Structure 1
Amino acid sequence: MLPRRHPLFWIPSLYFAQGLPYAIVMTMAAIMYKRLGVSNEQIAWCSSLLGMAWVVKPLWSPLLELAPSKKWAIVTFQALGGACLLAAALVLRGAGFFTFSVAALALLSLASASHDIAADGLYIGQLTPRQQAMYSGWLGTFWNGGKLFVQGAVVVLAGELEARYDVRTAWAVALALPGAALLLLAAYHGWAAPADLRADPADAASRQPWRTSADVLLSFFRKPGIWLAIVFVLLFRVAEGQVQTIGRLFLIDDRAHGGLGMSTLDMGIAYGSFSTVAYIAGSILGGYFGAWRGLRLAMPVLILAMNLPTVTFCYLSVALPDNLALITAVLSAEMFGFGFGFAGLVMYMMQVVAPGKYPAAHYALGTGVMQLGLVLSTMVSGKIQASLGYHDFFIWGLLAALPSLLLTFVVALPGKPQQATLATGATP
């Protein structure tokens, strides 16, 4: 039998708990609010605001150094996340459900972003470099496992319950289920996660975390070519950030409004099965492709692949198919392209943005910039779609991808991939 503190006792469950709330906030919430009759503009706006927690999380990470331990922070934020989901489930049936549920999800996003910092810190602090490399594959697998649980099992459950009860009851149960799961995971990690202690108070970095943070920020912005790199990272997901949000609303919207009119159950089947597998396969193959060709040659192809989802939605908005197998196949191509292309951004941040005095912290700043680009593009997507309609909006998505493609001929791109110094990947 494995020892109690063996990494496989806590790494898979820890990163499952990391992926689960992110998928709820950034994916499931949009589907839920669409089914509850909220407008596309409101959904896009609140989705962007909820995503801000992952943009600014590096700014409060020094405060977590004051916690009794990273294990304490992990258990606390998992329990808080579970409580937020149960609270959102309770208010969903009452008046003012939108305002109160968004407030609960906002607190969930803050708890989840804080949990990310503590979880990555525990992983890096408790494992040797060899172990970090050995178990790095488990991170992405179980992070995506949390995403699959939400997009597949939870959304399918909501679809089944919609057929038996009213929509609000169905989604209240769909929120309560992962809420209970997070509470159980908090209790489990109270036992399974390895104990760690806060740094010695006599240590200067522990006494003055903000001074270290200032040095991290200053050294980041003093890097040669960093401002062009920031622009590139910001623009990389501009098209995808708009299309991913509106695309799901298009799938649900009535055919009279230009959508496909898919049921919640069909959405869960389409996105929670083959599409998730295609995303994982695309991510793995994209990494191998980048390593094989080097970023300088691979990046244009990776950016084109990143925008394959826009092409698929252009097709769906013209053909308006009603065959679930065909729609699932098209959405699988969408997710494969997204995973394949996103690997390029992860490699760019690891090989160009992160290297230096604080590689882990600078990589975290890079992911914050990436999330900011996603949030800003999501924020405006609702108004653009309302003005253009679905088909023309997806054409606009193709045009929005051009700036990042053109920048590949300007930004510094290494010809051969360097060895990554980080154990964890970016949050998609």
Structure 2
Amino acid sequence: MDKAHADVLKPQATRHPLAWVPTLYLAQGLPFYAVALVAGLMFKSMGVPNEQIARWTGVLGLAWVFKALWSPFLELARSKKRIVVALQVAGGIALACVALALQLPAWFALALVLLAVVSLASSTHDIGADGLYIASLTARQQAAYAGWQGAFFNGAKFLSLGGLVILAGVLEQRVGAPAAWSTVFGLLGALLAGLGLYHAWALPDTHRGGAAPASVRATAALLLDVIRAFFAKRGIWMGILFIVLFRLAEGQVQTIGPLFLRDARALGGLGLSTQEVGAIYGTAGTAAFLAGSVLGGYFTSWLGLRRAMLFLILAMNVPNLVFWYLSVAQPESLGLVTAALSAEMFGYGFGFVGMILFIMQVIASGPYQTAHYALGSGFMQLGFVLSKVVSGDIQQALGYRHFFLWVVLSAIPVLLLARFVRMEPAPEQ
């Protein structure tokens, strides 16, 4: 290999991976959880009805559905580092602007627009960050630091729900909801922009050197070929239906569950404070989810995907009955509520492994594996978004008790389909 070719492949900076891998994935997680989780709790505190919270936060998730369609075009840029830094700073500014918008009369519409900007910046940042990680590290290093990836991405959840939401709950009692949530989004924005500035120094660069980037036309042609090959896979439509139905119950309960905890007892909720909900989801709940994910991976590796899938679906859905129990009993013990939700989150983490492996091993098999995994992940997010968008209207129509029973019944279609869907890679065509 000549020196010019080597310069194309090797990063031009040699900082130790621990100087940037943890913070890179912390920066990937912060805006994602701000949109997916924190925004819903903020809207609840600001008096927005459940159906509007579910509908609009669901729509915001569409950016992660379609990001695979513009991911190839990021390869046209000569420096992944510049893309990543710019998107982190832009996302931080947009989050800080949410803090300002909450003080204005038209705060709801302005906040949605700004959160849409955050969603687009964050979903595009995912592509650049993962590409930078792959391009900057050897295969051995990628495996060695994969644990740091997951730990700090989920660390953003601990920080967002276990730290900043608890802070919002404390401030709500002292200065009111608008000022409290402005403080939280201001801190989120400052932290993300600060990470962007740090990464301007810390991230390795991946300049193409003397190699000319592909043209827009060639990239578009490649994208079309990737899409054609994806939909030409045998059994692909059954697989897509399985992916969408797999998340039917999850999208509903993960959207309405936190709102149920916050709603007044007279309305069928548990009447918990923002601080209490943050403590449950951000600490014990997240720890239970991570433990379930690790054990679910070992379980599936031991049993094999086809034999394990039924158990994974049940593990992800049967624990949703704890929400029905809580809606009926309306216990006042915070310890009991925490234990119940930890069991639900453990099952959620344990079962969700099945969807990741199904996409990785079945849907993404064959040529264009990385691109097809991105497309499969987009359909996975689409299933979540579709169920999330309608969840508020269903809950309003049924009430909490009957809604949580409906959520459990929502798992029946994917349980039936699991008997017929292919669970191994299709033979090469």
Normalising by the smaller structure, the TM-score range is over 0.9
- 1:412 partnered with 2:422: yes
Identity %: 54
Instruction: Let me know the Cα RMSD of the aligned residues.
Output: 1.5
In 2, Cα distance between equivalents of 1:164 and 1:229: 51
How far did residue 147 of structure 1 move? Answer: 1.1
Q: Is the 8 A contact 2:75 2:213 kept in 1?
A: no
In 2, Cα distance between equivalents of 1:204 and 1:33: 44
Match of 2:130 among 115, 120, 145: 120
In 2, Cα distance between equivalents of 1:204 and 1:364: 20
- 1:22 partnered with 2:25: no
In 2, Cα distance between equivalents of 1:285 and 1:68: 40
- 1:352 partnered with 2:350: no
| Aligned residue number for residue 295 of structure 1 | 305
How far did residue 309 of structure 1 move? Answer: 4.3
Match of 1:332 among 338, 342, 349: 342
Partner amino acid for 1:295? Answer: L
Partner amino acid for 1:411? Answer: V
TM-score between both structures, scaled by the size of structure 1: 0.94
- 1:103 partnered with 2:113: yes
In 1, Cα distance between equivalents of 2:101 and 2:413: 43
In 1, Cα distance between equivalents of 2:216 and 2:410: 44
Q: Is the 8 A contact 2:312 2:350 kept in 1?
A: yes
Q: Is the 8 A contact 2:72 2:219 kept in 1?
A: yes
How far did residue 414 of structure 1 move? Answer: 3.8
How far did residue 4 of structure 1 move? Answer: 5.4
Q: How does 1:7-406 map to 2 (within 5 A)?
A: 7-198=17-208, 202=212, 204=214, 208-406=218-416
- After superposition, the C-alpha distances for 1:306-352 in whole angstroms (9 at most, x for unaligned) are 11442111111111011111111111111111100001111111110
How far did residue 126 of structure 1 move? Answer: 1.3
How far did residue 90 of structure 1 move? Answer: 0.3
How far did residue 68 of structure 1 move? Answer: 3.5
In 1, Cα distance between equivalents of 2:412 and 2:148: 34
**Paired positions, count:** 413
Partner amino acid for 1:168? Answer: P
In 2, Cα distance between equivalents of 1:92 and 1:112: 21
How far did residue 413 of structure 1 move? Answer: 1.6
Q: Is the 8 A contact 2:316 2:349 kept in 1?
A: yes
How far did residue 149 of structure 1 move? Answer: 0.6
In 2, Cα distance between equivalents of 1:407 and 1:175: 42
How far did residue 202 of structure 1 move? Answer: 3.9
Q: Is the 8 A contact 1:294 1:414 kept in 2?
A: no
Q: Is the 8 A contact 1:19 1:143 kept in 2?
A: yes
- After superposition, the C-alpha distances for 1:26-77 in whole angstroms (9 at most, x for unaligned) are 1111111011000011101101111000000011112312334111110000
Q: Is the 8 A contact 1:246 1:382 kept in 2?
A: yes
| Aligned residue number for residue 3 of structure 2 | none
Q: Is the 8 A contact 2:76 2:214 kept in 1?
A: no
Q: Any idea what SS the aligned residue of 2:145 has?
A: helix
Partner amino acid for 2:372? Answer: H
Partner amino acid for 2:79? Answer: S
Unaligned runs of 5+ in 1: 416-428
In 2, Cα distance between equivalents of 1:254 and 1:225: 47
How far did residue 206 of structure 1 move? Answer: 7.2
Q: Any idea what SS the aligned residue of 2:47 has?
A: coil
Q: Say if 1:387 and 1:200 are closer, same or farther in 2 by CA, change over 3 A.
A: farther
